[in-house]
C-alpha cells in the first residue's frame, strides 16, 4: 500500500514524471490500491467469515461447484482482482515479462 501511494505521489508531484503520465498509468495504481484496500478492510475491519468462501473454492477445485456464498466483503475484493486480471493483458502489467525480451534484444 505504501509503495502504491509512493508511486501515485511520484506521478503527481515529480514534474518530469507527471508530463508523461497517461490514464493507464494512474488506473493501474488505483486498481492495485483498491485491491489492497479491500483486502486490508477484511483483515483489519469488521470481522468477515471466510469459511463459506473456502468451501466454495474447495468445491470448485473438486469440479463440483456450489452457489456463490453471500460474503459481500470478499465479493468486492474478488471482483477487483478479476477486473485487474482481465485488464492485465492490455495494460503495462504485461511489461514485467517484457523486460527479458527487451534486454535480450539489446544484448544481442
Minimum distance from residue 82 beta carbon to another protein (Å): 23
Burial of residue 76 (number of CB atoms within 10 Å: 0-12, 13-18, 19+)? middle
Q: Between 60 and 102, whose beta carbon lies closer to another protein?
A: 102
Minimum distance from residue 17 beta carbon to another protein (Å): 4
What gap in Å lies between CA 75 and CA 79, rounded to an integer? 6
Grid cell digits, residue 3: 509503495
Residue 103 three-state SS: helix
Q: Between 12 and 59, whose beta carbon lies closer to another protein?
A: 12
Minimum distance from residue 81 beta carbon to another protein (Å): 21
Directed axis angle between helix 72-87 and helix 23-44, to 10°? 150
Q: Between 61 and 99, whose beta carbon lies closer to another protein?
A: 99
**Which residue ranges make up the site for another protein (CB under 8 A)?**
10, 14-17, 19-22, 25, 92, 95, 98-99, 101-103, 105-106
Amino acid at each position: 500500500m505504501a509503495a502504491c501511494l509512493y508511486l501515485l505521489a511520484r506521478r503527481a508531484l515529480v514534474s518530469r514524471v507527471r508530463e508523461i503520465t497517461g490514464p493507464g498509468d494512474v488506473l493501474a495504481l488505483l486498481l492495485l490500491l483498491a485491491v489492497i484496500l479491500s483486502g486490508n478492510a477484511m483483515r483489519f475491519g469488521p470481522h468477515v467469515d471466510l469459511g463459506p468462501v473456502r468451501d466454495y473454492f474447495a468445491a470448485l477445485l473438486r469440479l463440483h461447484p456450489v452457489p456463490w456464498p453471500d460474503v459481500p466483503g470478499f465479493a468486492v475484493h474478488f471482483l477487483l482482482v478479476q477486473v485487474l486480471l482481465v485488464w492485465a493483458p492490455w495494460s503495462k502489467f504485461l511489461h514485467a515479462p517484457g523486460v527479458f525480451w527487451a534486454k535480450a534484444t539489446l544484448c544481442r
